[in-house]
Amino acid sequence: MTRRVVITGMGAVTPLGHNVEELWRRLLAGQSGVGKTTIFDSGTFPTQFSAQVNGYDHLRDLPENIRADHREACRNSRFIIGAALQAWRQANLPIPLPAELRDGKIGYLPAAEQVGAYLGAGEGPIDFDNFIAATVNGWQGEKMEMDWKAWAKTAFPRMNARRELEQEPNMPGAHLARIFNLRGPCMSCLTACAASTQAIGEATELIRYADADIIITGGTHSMIHPLGVTGFNRLTALSTRNDDPSSASRPFDGERDGFVLAEGAGALIIEELETARRRGVNILAEIIGYGSTADAFRVTDQHEDGRGGIAAVRMALENANVGIDQIDYISAHGTGTKENDSIETLIIKGVFGPRAYQIPISSVKSMLGHLIAAAGAVELITCVLAIRDQIAPPTTNLTHPDPKCDLDYIPNQARKIPVNVAMSNSFGFGGQNNTLIIRRFVD
Amino acid sequence: MTERRVVITGLGVINALGTGREEYFQALLDGKIGIDRIKVFDPGEFPSQVAGEAPRPKMSDVVPKVYRKATKLMSRDIGLAVIAADGAIRDGRIKTKATNPEGGIDIDPVRSGVNIGAGLICCDLVELATAAQHAAEDGRFSLQKWGSEGMNMLTPLWLLKYLPNMLSCHISIIHDLQGPSNSITCAEVSGTLSIGEAYRKIVHNKADLMVAGGAESKVEAMGLLRQCLLGRACTKYNDRPKDACRPFDRDAGGMVIGEGAGIVILEELEHARQRGATLYAEITGFGASNNFSRDFVEPEASAKGVTIALQKALNEAKLSPGEIDLLVAHGIAIASNDRAEATAIREAFGEHTKTLSVLATKSRFGNCGAAGGAIDLITAVLALYERQVPSNVNCPNPPSEYGLNLADSNQAADINHAMTCSYTYGGQTAALTISRLS
């Protein structure tokens, strides 16, 4: 039998608050974190709004003696540093971890070699002004070719080594390893919008099979920068409801016109059950199932029948050893794009049959926007809180029914429901499908 | 349940030494060096001007007709991955949707997955510049004009060329692999971690077959600029490209950028036997850890994370250090890094370090980033399978305190167990153990 994995700490830095409790309160109140984009001037872009994290200072949360090491962290690393510190402290873990296993009167702690990180982390925002200046200065318009000498002459004096290094997607995890003294597996994956759900699932596997005893997992991302918005606007994936940003994110609504780009981080401490017991830490929930598949269909679209998504959800159910009647709540991927929401509805019906109509489902992206690589982690945190408080957050902006989306999406008002087992789904570009199932912890 | 064993049954490689396992390994044995002055762009104003450039085969040769249109969405990194995956699948004689379009597929798509490590992919600067010139105002870039006009010059699917998961996704689509699919982005250790995780997937019965490895091109302006700014790139040998990359040598002058892909087929042993596959070697251990450093660039002097990863991979294989016959090391050719790695190797192997054969191959084809560890594993597999260890080149004078046994000629050797280790800026480390099938 594989080892059991429990959640013992959570943290979040999001557009709706820089900690878990504020985020939860505002989600239950149906508030929106979406507003005009101010990180850069997007006044002429097709989409001029987003869900930003405003006014967060990671240095304030870091112990003073190590602040210097993390001063230059990129935006995404700053968010995960904040979220991870909250989770770490909730899980009652010391900063830094001692290298050797500790036991006895002062309490139990596994060796640092058994404590790792697994993030679904995005790349850091590019140094856009200098990057574009070099590109423009090097470009020979008449000849339609790049003069690489001219490019280099602009790029070298203007770009900064540390600023470039911090964009690497392994850096958010690198900062966490440094802060906490992690010597276990330190991994990072970037499977688009499904990344942090996948990271949590893979971290769960590492603990189940004893590659680690404790892992800090979750995700972080910010694509609210000129090239990020350009990329999504060119894909026509973003809502362009510029006249009313807070109603732009409309998962499952008949008038949805795309997702709303957001940024932020969610972090969870997960650990092997016996380790948690020996440490005497409060257990928030148990991770009981994980499923991960590929559509193997198209890089642009989900499989029209939801083939890969159905397989991932079934795999997670089987892995959790629970039946379809036991799922009390689903946190949907629910992006608010035409395609995603109708296919996700098909996936849920495909797996749950008639029971699909009885399961309350919500998409917190209606309020938070889409945190891309970080989305799944923050959504799993809301599932833990739904179990704790026996209440599910609403899907806001759901006012015009779509015949293709006819399930119970908890429209507009949070709802008290009994939640023992919750499921969180994430789907990413390229056909990445990941599902996690958690349960109220019982011995 | 009895333990599921994982074997390597197909090898796909592309880098500056060539394409395919035969060409690659023969080049290693022939002492070839694929590093030269950079051709793909003019490096004249860069402090480092050499690189290991890989061939550019026609993508239409490795992509089935029905999928040709998608090659327009394949950046260089994706292309390298698709080429090496095709090579590995054909080398493993696996019948997939792509290799056998008429049918007769001999794997179960839902039990077959992909795990390809990827780097930070920079967009094509020429393509970006072509669009950006439509955003010029008084000779300068205008963000306002970019939003209203310039961006529209980019192809609608532009973003999809540069997402790191697209390496895995294209491979999964081309060959119809619907099982677990991941894209590990831990810089220069990505390939090793991907193979380690894919190995676990088979052991834990989540898949029977995995296409795993890594691919990256650092041979582009931003890739070189970043390594130059960080002070890691070799600047001393611009006039002598073949001598430029000198892992573990006294005169090591920095890393040389490279590009490539290494992809292996991992298979559950019985699954492979039933197919009558070539069993190159068995994966017997995997370990991952982390190096510390204040600046995230240099590893700590002891590279302790490398030692821990090696020890974990040894323990899992139930082997003692003395049983390892070959270590394909990271050998980045940055003196302080090589020194730290040598320290970590001595710590892991103790007295056996003196006799352990150590091979560093970046002198031949440069630093292939996310592909590096995967190519190293392929090198170790071929050395074990062909019973030959290629020579270390550009390493005539390793400092004696490194204490490493770096042979400068090809050695015939009956290798029973071999290892690889990888580390990266940022800190992540990993190691793998492979064994001859008994």
Q: Is A303 a catalytic residue?
A: no
Mean of pLDDT values over A307-314: 97
Catalytic position from the list A186, A193, A383, A405: A193
Mean of pLDDT values over A246-253: 98
Nearest beta carbon to residue B165 from set A177, A234, A432: A432
Confidence band (pLDDT; 50, 70, 90) for A443?
A: confident
Per-residue pLDDT of A210-231, as tens digits, reads 999 999 999 999 999 999 999 9
Q: Which residues of A touch B290 (CB under 8 A)?
A: 116, 177, 182-184, 186
Nearest to B197 by CA among A182, A3, A186, A436: A186
Cβ of B132 and A151 within 8 Å?
no
Predicted pLDDT of residue A105? 83
Predicted pLDDT of residue B208? 98
Q: Where are the domains of chain A?
A: 5-125+168-279, 128-161, 289-439
Cβ of B185 and A170 within 8 Å?
yes
Task: Quote the ipTM score.
Answer: 0.98
Q: Are B105 and B97 in contact (CB under 8 A)?
A: yes
Mean of pLDDT values over B374-390: 98
Q: Are A73 and A168 in contact (CB under 8 A)?
A: no
Mean of pLDDT over chain A = 97
Residues 6+ apart with CB under 8 A from A221: A76, A121, A122, A195, A263, A264, A265, A371, A372, A373, A374
Predicted pLDDT of residue A206? 98
Confidence band (pLDDT; 50, 70, 90) for A242?
A: very high
Mean of pLDDT values over A3-17: 98
Predicted pLDDT of residue B294? 86
For residue B1, pLDDT beyond 60: no
Q: Which residues of A touch B107 (CB under 8 A)?
A: none
Nearest beta carbon to residue B229 from set A146, A159, A177: A159
Q: Which fold has domain B6-122+162-435?
A: Peroxisomal Thiolase; Chain A, domain 1 (3.40.47)
Q: What is the pTM of this model?
A: 0.98
Q: Which residues of B touch A180 (CB under 8 A)?
A: none
Q: Please tell me what DSSP assigns to residue B219.
A: -
Cβ of B147 and A298 within 8 Å?
no
Nearest to A382 by CA among A130, A121, A79, A26: A26
Nearest to A428 by CA among A263, A253, A219, A197: A197
Residue A25, classed as helix, strand or coil, is helix
β-sheet bridge partners, residue B116: B213
DSSP string, A29-97: TT----EE--SS--TTSS--EEB---S--HHHHS-GGGHHHHTT--HHHHHHHHHHHHHHHHTT--SSP
Q: How far is B181 from chain A (nearest CA, A)?
A: 6
Predicted pLDDT of residue A345? 98
Predicted pLDDT of residue B139? 83
Q: Where are the domains of chain B?
A: 6-122+162-435
Confidence band (pLDDT; 50, 70, 90) for B159?
A: very high
Q: Does domain A289-439 correspond to CATH entry 3.40.630.30?
A: no
Q: Is A333 a catalytic residue?
A: yes
Mean of pLDDT values over A417-429: 97
Q: How far is A436 from chain B (nearest CA, A)?
A: 14
Q: Are A330 and A421 in contact (CB under 8 A)?
A: no
Same-fold call for A5-125+168-279 versus A289-439 = yes
Q: What percent of chain A has pLDDT over 70?
A: 100
Q: How many CB atoms lie within 10 A of CB B102?
A: 5
Mean of pLDDT over chain B = 97
Cβ of A135 and B128 within 8 Å?
yes
Per-residue pLDDT of A23-51, as tens digits, reads 999 999 999 999 999 999 999 999 999 99
Cβ of A169 and B43 within 8 Å?
no
Of the residues B41, B63, B124, B159, the best mutation for testing chain A's interface (the one with the most A CB atoms within 10 Å of its CB) is B159
Predicted pLDDT of residue A300? 86
Cβ of B110 and A293 within 8 Å?
yes
Per-residue pLDDT of B217-272, as tens digits, reads 999 999 999 999 999 999 999 999 999 999 999 999 999 999 999 999 999 999 99
Q: How far is A433 from chain B (nearest CA, A)?
A: 9
Predicted pLDDT of residue B284? 98
Q: Which residues of B touch A45 (CB under 8 A)?
A: 147, 151
Per-residue pLDDT of B272-325, as tens digits, reads 999 999 999 999 999 999 999 989 999 999 999 999 999 999 999 999 999 999
Q: Are A170 and B424 in contact (CB under 8 A)?
A: yes
End-to-end Cα, chain A, rounded Å: 16
Cβ of B221 and A190 within 8 Å?
no
Q: Which residues of B touch A226 (CB under 8 A)?
A: 143, 146
For residue A200, pLDDT beyond 90: yes
Q: Does domain A5-125+168-279 correspond to CATH entry 3.40.47.10?
A: yes
Confidence band (pLDDT; 50, 70, 90) for B134?
A: very high
Predicted pLDDT of residue A146? 98
HEC letters along B146-187? HHHCHHHHCCCCHHHHCCCCHHHHHHHHHHCCCCCEECECCH
